[in-house]
Amino acid sequence: MHINIEIKARCDDHDYVRKTLLAHHAEFRGEDHQIDTYFRCTNGRLKLREGNIENHLIHYDREDKEGPKQSNVTLYLPTPGLSLKSILEKSLGISAVVDKRREIYFIGNVKFHIDTVLGLGTFVEIEAIDKNGTIGVETLREQCAEYMRVLRITDDDLLKDSYSDMLVQHL
């Protein structure tokens, strides 16, 4: 399990974010077409991410609040294939499916996503990640706040809901 401090924000200027990240020597990891299937579960959230770069089964607990928020994440790296998805779908049921194009960047332990989400629009995410407990929540919060400033993300831009929640609300 690891800890993230993360934000999600509306973003109408992906070019600015991209140029700013590259000016800060971000490492571009690629563009991923991701399908996130969210399953019904009683505690936290469970999703299967299927992409060309990232393929994970992810369980996380996160408060639904505005601003930087802590996520407690457990990650499983499955072999891509339909059997795991089929088992989860049959046993738990699907609550939402998110289809997005995502550019992935890193600066040290901080991950950035430039997202275009089918049916929702354009966004940017910042995830300050502590994989082994050596960074600490306070430093993660400071990193997240600093990159919000660098990317000119204001409190008015921030979203409290996940993409899956936003899609369900639009139905």
Domains (range + CATH), the chain? 2-170 (2.40.320.10)
At 17, give phi and psi (nearest 5°). -60, -45
| Statement: the pTM of the whole predicted model exceeds 0.85 | yes
Q: Which two tokens mark 59?
A: 């369980």
pLDDT of residue 82: 65
Q: Which residues contact 97 (CB under 8 A, 6 or more apart)?
A: 35, 36, 37, 38, 167
CA nearest 35: which of 96, 84, 93?
96
Going from the first residue of the chain to its last (171 residues), give the mean pLDDT of each consecutive group of 10, the final group possibly shorter. 92 97 98 96 93 93 84 87 87 96 98 97 97 93 97 94 88 62
pLDDT of residue 169: 85
CA-CA distance, 162 to 98, in Å (whole number)? 10
- Contact (CB, 8 A) for 105 and 111: yes
Q: Which two tokens mark 51?
A: 């992409």
pLDDT of residue 78: 85
